Structure 1
């Protein structure tokens, strides 16, 4: 059974589309976090504005998926993509330490995301 969500701007008609939006929304969480760091405590206008716009877009996009996807699973995937993505960007862009334990924990987050999606059949 497929549910169709209609909005003036966005219509989601399948679980696959909803999951793709969750992933995009998770990537916006990474943009939000990176821009927030670059904003220097919101004292720099452009990165501060990008941070706020990315955060609002992330939550707004996520909201369209919640009538199709289970809240707990969708939220966990969204947060996991944001957390793992931000940790990886921190390593590569901000030269944060690359520690074996840290990489294992990031991998566990990714495995958890995949496992949750597999449990939902999506």
Structure 2
């Protein structure tokens, strides 16, 4: 059961990354297809987050969900939009990743 909750949380985090990046393409929700895709990803992300909360503690799940979204969004921002690859920025990402790993390791399921 706990494995399914963590998988749901991973899917939710990936979908969060998708909708965060999708916002860039909606141009203020003036573009139909990117807007529909972004809204669908938002709904899916919340759904999978809610499924993970059936098993996982809310604080842990929320922190991991936002962490996955933040890290994924920064990585895609670098890859797709040429955002800064400054070493301090990358170091901060590693801190977020280490926090996510720590929450997974020390979470009581």
Q: TM-score, normalised by structure 2?
A: 0.96
Question: Alpha-carbon deviation of 1:121?
Answer: 5.1
Quote the offset at 1:42 in angstroms. 0.8
As a proportion of its length, which structure holds more helix?
A: 2
Moved over 6 A (4+): none
Q: What CA RMSD, in Å, does the superposition of the two structures yield over aligned residues? A: 1.0
Q: Which structure exhibits the higher relative contact order, with contacts defined as CA atoms closer than 8 Å and separated by 6 or more residues?
A: 2
Gaps of 5+ in 1: 1-13
CA distance in 1, matches of 2:100, 2:12: 14
SS at match of 1:102: helix
Note the 1:39-78 alignment, pairs <5 A.
39-78=26-65
1:16-95 equivalences under 5 Å are 16-95=3-82
Alpha-carbon distance, 1:89 to partner: 0.3
TM-score, normalization: structure 1? 0.86
**How far apart are residue 41 of structure 1 and its match?**
1.0
Distance 1:92 1:121 in 2: 35
Count of residues paired in the alignment: 109
Unaligned runs of 5+ in 2: none
